[in-house]
Structure 1
Amino acid sequence: MKLKNLVFGLLAGAATLPAPVHAAPILSDIVFVVDESGSMGNVQANLRNNIGLFASILTGTGQVNARYGLVGYGDSNVVPRMVTDFTDATNFATAANGLTITGGLEPGYTATAFALNALDGQTDLFSFRSNAVKNIIILTDEPSNFDTTAYGAFGGSAVTESVVDSLLTSNNALYNGVLRNSSTIASYDDLINDHSGTIFDLNLFNTTDQTIVENFVTDFANKKLQETLDFCDLNPNDPACQPNEVPEPGSLGLLSLALGGLLLKRRRSKYLAAS
């Protein structure tokens, strides 16, 4: 009986030992959806050259584990395409060399649906982690246009703003826009505002002044970090927001040694009593 009480006492005492620690940060899968029209050359170059800075800020605190995918849309083939599946910042920068500036149409809604693996008959699929926060970021200077079935369909019909809204909702995805021109903002602002995102000024990213670009990227990455953390505050039951928790190794070791010592002491006492 005394042993039982001691064991219960140790177990109760274990509750006062150091608290569990999170085994992993929040997972975030980010897809950049980039307009490939002729006016986007500087933007594409700045994305390639600064994805490392963006990644270092987003993941530098250890609170977020991010991967980066890339969609190009509006080039001479028009149909949205995967430039790279999810990868790290270094390989993303290399893959981004494959973006073009030959486009003239900007079916941004269709490209967003593509980024969510939702177009009819889509063969290139992004390998989203099942427990990752989905982040879609569109970079464009034109409103969504020419969203016809020739460039991608959803359920047999053209992709509309309401379709994108539904897809973002069903995927519990965040949506951000790096945009220029009032008509472009009007095309995307409801989607961005309704899906916990922010509208960023493309003019600050479409320049050769690297001081302006780096300041923009720093602000952008810090806001994305906070946005991801806020997502988990608002969605605590989302799989991405429930990292595994494990007790501190020292706590387990201390408890095991104590229990082992008590059991050995009791066996020794029984042996002496019998002899």
Structure 2
Amino acid sequence: MKRRKMILLFMIFIMLAGSLEFWAGNASANGLHEFREGDYLVNILDDGDGRARVFKFTTDNKITSSNTNLRLFINQIEIDSKEYTVNHESYTITMNKAPDRGAEISIKYLISPTFEWGEGISGKDQIGNALPEGNGSTRVFKLTNYLLSSSKNVSLYIDGTKVRASEFTFNYANNSITISEKRSAPGANSKMYFYFPVTSIAGTQSSSGEKTESPSTGGPVTPGKEVESEFQVPGGESYPGHITLSTNHTFIVNITSAAVQPTYTSYVMVKNANGEVVRRIRINPGNSSTYSLSKLGLPSGGYYFYLKTVNQSGGLAASIPQFVPINNEPQHIQVYIEGHKQAYAQAPVNVSGNVLVPFRAIFQSLGATVKWNKSTQTVTATREGKTIILTMGSKIAYVNGVPITLSAAPQLINGSTMVPVRFVSEALGGMVEWNIASNSVVVFQKQPTIPTTAESEKEAKSEPSSSSPILEKISHGITTPTDIVFVIDVTGSMGEIIGYIKETVKKFVDSVPSGSKFAIVAYRDINYVDAYHKDLEFFSFTNNKNVLKNNLDKLVASGGVDLEESGLEAIHMAVNKLSGSTNSKRIIFITDAPVHDKGTSQGKSGFFLEQIIAELKTNKVTLDAIAPTGGLAYKQIIQLVNSNKGKLYDINDASIMLLNK
């Protein structure tokens, strides 16, 4: 699994490089486990468990035995086609032999006309669509699957080369791409990939305006989903906010009102030195807020902080990450090289305001070759044509033969030869800072590049540091084996809350009676296009807390757009999944928004609020909610909670920050 994550992270990194952006792979529009690799789509399947031989794959592309050929890989080695069979109707692969436990399984298939996928191009979420292949004469090609509202920010690639904007036109009124006379018509069998922004989707080509039955909602809805207007918040140096670090172990966050919109949500994001998300704190734009570094509950180490604003359909803007060392033992000096905390056999020491560290460790961490001459008591380090010579007890050092006067001489401490870290680092071209708040030396040889895309925000794998007070209270009311469905709003504003649930769910599972089982229904809004993620998704019941945790780790906050979401559809699905249970039945409903109610949102919901309340009562399902305690959401959800003696908990108390107070 570790190797697979490294591969996916590498693909995402390549995607961010502008010069290579066309060849980048990313999470597909067809599912979280699919990305593009050249002219192929790669689909990641579940890992082997040593027993299962049948594996299901998920994609929105209509794959048949005639339009493409699936290839199977186990641990990145292609498997002979005689060793497995593919069922194109059920999208399953059956292997002759069960893969070993932990085996990494994937399929690869050639991109055919009409296939689509998701990619990030120039920092924007785009959909790639395979056009019909060229024939040497045709210049007009039709876009399939989608109707677009704009011709802006589209791009075309022919056989891997980006076509200049002056050499083609796109007419969104009739969905046609025309190759101009400035260039030759695409040759026979030329691969043609057309890209357009997710935000330009106005509907699908099958949209007829007639009402059809939606199997996911159980009620009539109108095809042709709405799309949110273009995201307006700038990123990078222009981001409308900043983080200020204080010497008293606090940081101040200020985001201006430019980021205030009904469907915009803002966060402080914290990544560790490996680029994994360790904290996500929701904040209110327009106000200045002060937070304690110690209350983040993070171990000593190097972290990157940045601000982020998202809308519910995936628009994202982020500030430039800044490095923050955290030292929980400030009486000890820390040293960071390229963001990573250094561990020395002899701890760093402060000599008259100069921090000294073991010579061999510091030079090697900076990429230099080092030699010690015992007879002359000199240290010689070389790197990229630069030579540094230091002598024990002498304040005169030499850089390429030029004498330099040091503030502190190298010296022997507890048997270790110690040298001044600032001189050594700067002599090799590094940038050195003293962080007084954390009693730390910070060295960077180049400015760190920390991605802030949604795809880069992988959660760090760790056991929860504490349990959730809310989930503890819910568990106290569960005294018999119970089948529990977490119904979770996974729209864009729910990132921190999902992280909170992930952080604490294992302890919750341990606290309920044995024999209980757990499932998840993740939902967004059935009325809006989210090309990357499903509107409703069910994760099957399990009594294994690690499986439940892994399912939670698959949840990504995205989509939604307007204020209300499809919570009633999700609860309806959960009740149906619980209908055959012989245990007690419970739903834990987690949302920060009202629900679309057929009584007040005609055409946007298949259910009345009263209808779902009746379903809960009839099926004897208790619904607890972690939700707003005011406004329209409260007025709706309190009725669901009261249907069978559930309880409502304030979603503002569901914060990772609160777990460490």
1:183-218 alpha-carbon deviations (Å, 9 max, x no partner)? 211111012112110001111113334235xxxxxx
Residue matched to 2:634: 185
* SS of corresponding position for 2:503: helix
- The 5-angstrom pairing of residues 128-143 of structure 1 reads 130-143=581-594
Residues 142 and 51 of structure 1: CA distance in aligned 2, closer, same or farther (over 3 Å): same
Larger mean CA deviation between 40-49 and 30-39 belongs to 40-49
Displacement of 1:92 in angstroms is: 0.5
Displacement of 1:149 in angstroms is: 9.2
Q: Which amino acid aligns with 2:515?
A: N
Residues 150 and 202 of structure 1: CA distance in aligned 2, closer, same or farther (over 3 Å): same
* SS of corresponding position for 1:102: coil
Q: Distance in 1 between matches of 2:644 and 2:627?
A: 16
Larger mean CA deviation between 138-147 and 107-116 belongs to 138-147
Q: Distance in 2 between matches of 1:174 and 1:65?
A: 18
Q: Distance in 2 between matches of 1:87 and 1:139?
A: 21
Residue matched to 1:37: 491
Displacement of 1:142 in angstroms is: 0.4
Larger mean CA deviation between 26-35 and 47-56 belongs to 47-56
Q: Distance in 1 between matches of 2:629 and 2:615?
A: 25
Displacement of 1:86 in angstroms is: 3.4
Residue matched to 1:96: 552
Q: Distance in 1 between matches of 2:524 and 2:556?
A: 9
* SS of corresponding position for 2:516: strand
- The 5-angstrom pairing of residues 219-234 of structure 1 reads none
Q: Distance in 1 between matches of 2:611 and 2:652?
A: 28
* SS of corresponding position for 1:95: helix
Residues 28 and 150 of structure 1: CA distance in aligned 2, closer, same or farther (over 3 Å): farther
Match of 2:618 among 165, 170, 192: 170
Q: Distance in 2 between matches of 1:31 and 1:68?
A: 6
1:195-246 alpha-carbon deviations (Å, 9 max, x no partner)? 110001111113334235xxxxxxxxxxxxxxxxxxxxxxxxxxxxxxxxxx
Q: Distance in 1 between matches of 2:484 and 2:505?
A: 12
Residue matched to 2:420: none
* SS of corresponding position for 2:547: helix
Residue matched to 1:144: 595
Q: Contact 2:519–2:540 at 8 Å: present in 1 too?
A: yes
Q: Contact 1:30–1:68 at 8 Å: present in 2 too?
A: yes
Q: Contact 2:622–2:644 at 8 Å: present in 1 too?
A: yes
Q: Distance in 2 between matches of 1:159 and 1:191?
A: 13
Q: Contact 2:617–2:643 at 8 Å: present in 1 too?
A: no
1:25-70 alpha-carbon deviations (Å, 9 max, x no partner)? 83200000000111211111121121111122223xxxx5311100
1:56 aligns with 2:510: yes
Displacement of 1:167 in angstroms is: 0.8
Q: Contact 1:83–1:99 at 8 Å: present in 2 too?
A: no
Residues 146 and 191 of structure 1: CA distance in aligned 2, closer, same or farther (over 3 Å): closer
Match of 2:517 among 67, 73, 78: 67
Q: Which amino acid aligns with 1:49?
A: E
1:27 aligns with 2:481: yes
Residues 187 and 78 of structure 1: CA distance in aligned 2, closer, same or farther (over 3 Å): farther
Residues 84 and 208 of structure 1: CA distance in aligned 2, closer, same or farther (over 3 Å): farther
Q: Distance in 2 between matches of 1:97 and 1:79?
A: 17
For structure 1, the 5+ residue unaligned runs are 1-24, 118-125, 153-157, 213-275
1:111 aligns with 2:570: yes
Percent identity over paired residues: 21
Q: Distance in 1 between matches of 2:651 and 2:644?
A: 20
Residues 191 and 209 of structure 1: CA distance in aligned 2, closer, same or farther (over 3 Å): closer
Q: Distance in 2 between matches of 1:84 and 1:100?
A: 18
Q: Distance in 2 between matches of 1:146 and 1:99?
A: 25
Q: Which amino acid aligns with 1:99?
A: L
TM-score, normalising length: structure 1: 0.56
Residue matched to 2:535: 79
Q: Distance in 2 between matches of 1:101 and 1:58?
A: 27
Count of residues paired in the alignment: 171
Q: Contact 1:40–1:206 at 8 Å: present in 2 too?
A: no
Q: Contact 2:515–2:543 at 8 Å: present in 1 too?
A: no
Residue matched to 2:333: none
Q: Distance in 2 between matches of 1:127 and 1:167?
A: 11
The structure with more strand, counted as a fraction of residues: 2
1:200 aligns with 2:656: no
